[in-house]
Structure 1
Amino acid sequence: MSAPNSKTAERPGLEAQIQRNPHPDFRKVERERPPFESDISWKYTQIPKTDWKIGDGANDTEWKKHKKIQIDPYGDSRKPVDNYKTLISAVTPRPIGFVSTVNRKGERNLAPFSYFSVVNHDPPLFTIGFSGGLDNPKDSAKNVIETGELTINIISEWFIEAANFCSTNSPFGVDEWKLSGLTPAESTIVKPPHVAESAFSIEAKLVTHHEWKSKLDPNKSTGTLVIVEGVNFHVREDVINDDLNIIDIAKLKPVSRLGGITYGRSITGYESLRPDYEKDVVNVNKI
């Protein structure tokens, strides 16, 4: 592992300002909480209001008791870090893109990113947002743009601790695979390995990227967006159906990103049919 250097303190992003940990002594707080419930399994419940009808609106009136306030994201007293904290605690839960890359020298990098989503299926397209511009990019962003290749791995409960440790602010060139103890599995089309522990991994190639400039200081680069195409999938045989098109969430046990240092579990869900306009609106109104 490389020794920390002065560049470590200059890493892109807002980490120095964010102060993610809200607890004076996190380990003490954690020890006082109930233990992780490993025996909980996925279950379905009814939707909150099973007798909901067209035009009924919200299923609870609590919202009427509170007014909405406006926030100008570029207000004089508002800092970019305030917008960051607001957005990551409001736009939840978010999927986590666990990104594996290699640099031009073949050195590996592994890191989780919560500015991540699937945006198309034909072709399979994904977006990943990295803090920092091209003048001082995240290791993963630098590797993706320079080599055009990566893998994206879905994080599940059985390796959340290892995945979380890959978010450490290590110097460029440090191998997070060794720090985490996770297992690199050889990919078929791209050079970066995928995570063997992950039940679903995507080999991907860069389509395009875009650098974002600050609205407060147009000379400052604040982030880099990459759009990548999935070119090969790896899925654990026991989590997918026989038709190879639906993954069982009860077996996948995906971990989501919430605000601050909080992660979420997916243990309960409910189903709701998509309405058919002709059947559910037109025909109903004819009665």
Structure 2
Amino acid sequence: MSKARPDFDQLQASRPDFNHNAQVTFTKPPNPTWKEGDGANDGGASLKKDHVEIDPNEEGRSVASNYKLLISGMVPRPIALISTKSLDGTSTNLAPFSYSQDTLKNLNETGECVINIISEHFVEAANATAINAPYGVSEWETSGLTQAPTSVVKAARVKESILAIEAKLVEVKEFESRAVPGKKSSVLAIVEGVRFWAREDAIDEERSLIDLEVLKPISRLGGISYGRTTDAIEIPRPQF
């Protein structure tokens, strides 16, 4: 496992401490008086900016450039912290899905997984599951997270996770690389939730809503950045 660069350690040390007591604050939307047809709330400033057209398949453009562009721009993203078990039951895997081929191998062979939503109280441990460990090494140990029993699937759920979803594989679709014909460059896995596990203090009486202030979800941003949700706005949906 590579260590953080010294310059990053210094940068991290210069930042303010994490505020564990931050509560979710609801504010007014940017333009509380917005009415139908008003468009953007920036007074037309965004219309004065030009855009750069990018062909993802242009000659000389790397796949890495496309990947970095997407993960830095399509934010914030929920993180699919997936727990799986090998077909023979001898090994377990816990990883953010896009970081692990082990996850895909187990998911393909067993057709089962658990999706665990990441919250502030275990973000460091969740990040540790992205380690590039060889197949057979359990990220449960490297992260220190706790395995909890499930009802329908064999893989464990993360006990620390406020919301976990047992799921069954519906379909796997592979996509071929345009840069290297014949090579599979990405995979889409579609799963069906078959059991929900919600922490008692986070679920309402109808068992249909999760309390944001208890969930305190963590999202993924670009690079090594994560986001937390402490500011929110409410805007009613329009009725035609």
TM-score, length-normalised on structure 1? 0.80
Asked whether 1:43 is paired with 2:25, we answer yes
Q: Equivalent residue of 2:108, what SS?
A: helix
TM alignment of 1:243-258, pairs within 5 A: 243-258=206-221
TM alignment of 1:132-281, pairs within 5 A: 138-277=101-240
How many residues matched? 236
Q: Equivalent residue of 1:169, what SS?
A: coil
Within 2, Cα distance between the matches of 1:47 and 1:198?
Answer: 30
Unmatched runs of 5 consecutive residues or more in structure 1: 5-20, 114-129, 132-136, 278-287
Within 1, Cα distance between the matches of 2:201 and 2:156?
Answer: 21
**Structure 1 residues 256-277: Cα deviation after superposition (integer angstroms, max 9, x where no partner):** 0000000000001111111111
Q: Which amino acid aligns with 2:146?
A: T
Q: Equivalent residue of 2:161, what SS?
A: coil
| Equivalent in the alignment of 1:110 | 94
| Equivalent in the alignment of 2:67 | 84
Deviation at residue 144 of structure 1 after TM alignment: 0.2
| Equivalent in the alignment of 2:40 | 58
Within 1, Cα distance between the matches of 2:11 and 2:131?
Answer: 21
Within 2, Cα distance between the matches of 1:112 and 1:26?
Answer: 23
**Structure 1 residues 15-51: Cα deviation after superposition (integer angstroms, max 9, x where no partner):** xxxxxx8x76211110011111112100100011011
Q: Which amino acid aligns with 1:83?
A: N
Deviation at residue 66 of structure 1 after TM alignment: 1.5
Deviation at residue 77 of structure 1 after TM alignment: 2.4
Q: Which amino acid aligns with 2:191?
A: V
Within 1, Cα distance between the matches of 2:7 and 2:148?
Answer: 37
Q: Which amino acid aligns with 2:166?
A: E
Within 2, Cα distance between the matches of 1:190 and 1:104?
Answer: 12
Asked whether 1:30 is paired with 2:17, we answer no
| Equivalent in the alignment of 2:83 | 100
**Structure 1 residues 50-77: Cα deviation after superposition (integer angstroms, max 9, x where no partner):** 1111111100033133201100001112
Within 2, Cα distance between the matches of 1:211 and 1:56?
Answer: 42
Q: Equivalent residue of 1:146, what SS?
A: helix
Within 2, Cα distance between the matches of 1:179 and 1:59?
Answer: 46
Deviation at residue 105 of structure 1 after TM alignment: 2.7
Asked whether 1:70 is paired with 2:33, we answer no
Q: Once structures 1 and 2 are overlaid, which stretch shifts more, 212-221 or 164-173? A: 212-221
Identity of aligned residues (%): 47
Within 2, Cα distance between the matches of 1:57 and 1:224?
Answer: 37
Regions of 4+ moved over 6 Å: none
Unmatched runs of 5 consecutive residues or more in structure 2: none
Within 2, Cα distance between the matches of 1:90 and 1:76?
Answer: 22
| Equivalent in the alignment of 1:125 | none
| Equivalent in the alignment of 1:127 | none
Q: Equivalent residue of 2:191, what SS?
A: strand
Within 2, Cα distance between the matches of 1:62 and 1:181?
Answer: 48
